[in-house]
Amino acid sequence: MSPLDTPGEGLPRADYTPGLRGPLTGLRVLDLSRLVAGNTLTQHLADFGATVDKVEPRDGDTLRGWRVKGVETAWKVHGRGKRSLCLDFRHKDAIPLIRRLVPGAAMLVESFRPGTLEAMGLTPEELLRIEPSLIIVRISGWGQDGPYSRRPGFGTLVEGFAGFAEMNGFADREPVLPPMYLADTIAGLTGAFAAMAALREVEINGGQGQVIDLPLLDPLFTALGPQAANYRLTGKTKPRTGSRSTGAAPRNVYRTSDDGWVCLSASTQGMAERVLRSIGRGDLVDDPRFRTNEQRVAHGEELDGIIGAFVGQRTLAENVAFFEAAEVTIGPVNDITRFMADRHVKARALLADYPDEDMGSFPMHAVSSRLSGTPGAIRGPAPRLGQHSREILAEHGLATAEIEAALASGLVTTPQEATR
């Protein structure tokens, strides 16, 4: 990303960088997945130069349907830098055509229900016969085997099953699901790492292609930490404690005098003591209730009351300035409005306005991993449905007559046919 300027109080402006080389330039990925996990995985690959060919059904990737005021905002974020081939999967020639796309691909990503790929005649064994170095990433809710493998695999079910929802929220209220696609996003990030590990085995160690079994469940449960070990030690499950931690104190959100919120975490002994001294309560450092982390956790409600009373006498801005001066780990609880206006966000271009045919400019996330020597970049906007159908087919050896026949039969669609 290369910001051009920062007009007034707005976001930095940036433009796409088509053709820019990256560390994954020359890597071709065949993406048959739908929804967030697969698109997150391949978005990260595209950001670093991989050619990601999305093979979409006639109605397009499901993300295209997640519109806000008629705009495909989710697709614009997760489809950026990719190419789109629109294919009628029910057509008799669909599978033979997909087979023609496999040779030369480094990866194939799919998120069908387990067994679907086999029913299509595209078993891993067959795909590896066509391209022996192929890395096949199979995304599902529960894994390719096991008693639940055939269950629907939406992230919501996994977020409940893994124990996240039961831990999240307040003790006197219902369990709370995350307000975003948490399981899918973590799986996508985990899958990107796994795919690159498998790629290294092929390219550096002379290994063969292989299958990556990537459920939504396993990465999310791993992210929850030592819950099983804690239960075995204590015989108790983790309670819902809102924003308070059961592992360290103080840690919570506190209301300010102007009805804002700040979040504070003092998970080391030194920082906890600094918090108490900064609010004029150095006498509590040696108080038996607060002397150690274990004691502070046990008396968390009392501690929060003391800190909350101090915070509540000041505005959000005053609190942030006061505690930053005291080098206390505190920060604002932002909504998207405050986040977009923040000077740090602007200075690092965490969001930048990119040209967009629907909105004029689209606030796009930066590439999150910042490599100093071979940085990622946003090379192009998310494609229109079938935008690259002709281009992709021609690259795989289909003659002009074959491409026209595929279009005429409804096997393949371009934006013109999609509009009609």
Query: Which residue numbers are catalytic?
Result: 184
Instruction: Give phi and psi for 282, each to the nearest 5.
Output: -60, -20
CA-atom Rg of the chain in angstroms: 25
β-pair partners for 261: 255
Side chain identity, residue 56: E
**DSSP per-residue string spanning 107-127:** EEEE-PPTTHHHHTT--HHHH
| Ramachandran assignment for 259, one of left (phi > 0), alpha (psi -120 to 50 degrees), beta (any other) | left
Dihedral sign, Cα of residue 21, residue 203, residue 38, residue 335? negative
28-31 and 107-110 strand pairing = parallel
Distance linking the first and last C-alpha atoms of the chain: 35
Our measurement of the distance from residue 97's CA atom to the centroid of its chain's CA atoms, rounded to an integer in Å, reads 30
The CA distance from 420 to 414, in Å, is 10
The CA distance from 183 to 36, in Å, is 9
Residue 188's nearest CA partner among 46, 83, 19 is 46
Q: Counting beta carbons within 10 angstroms of the beta carbon of residue 93, is it exposed (0 to 12), middle (13 to 18) or buried (19 or more)?
A: middle
364: part of which helix (H) or strand (E)? strand 360-365
The CA distance from 303 to 261, in Å, is 17
**3-state DSSP assignment of residue 328:** coil
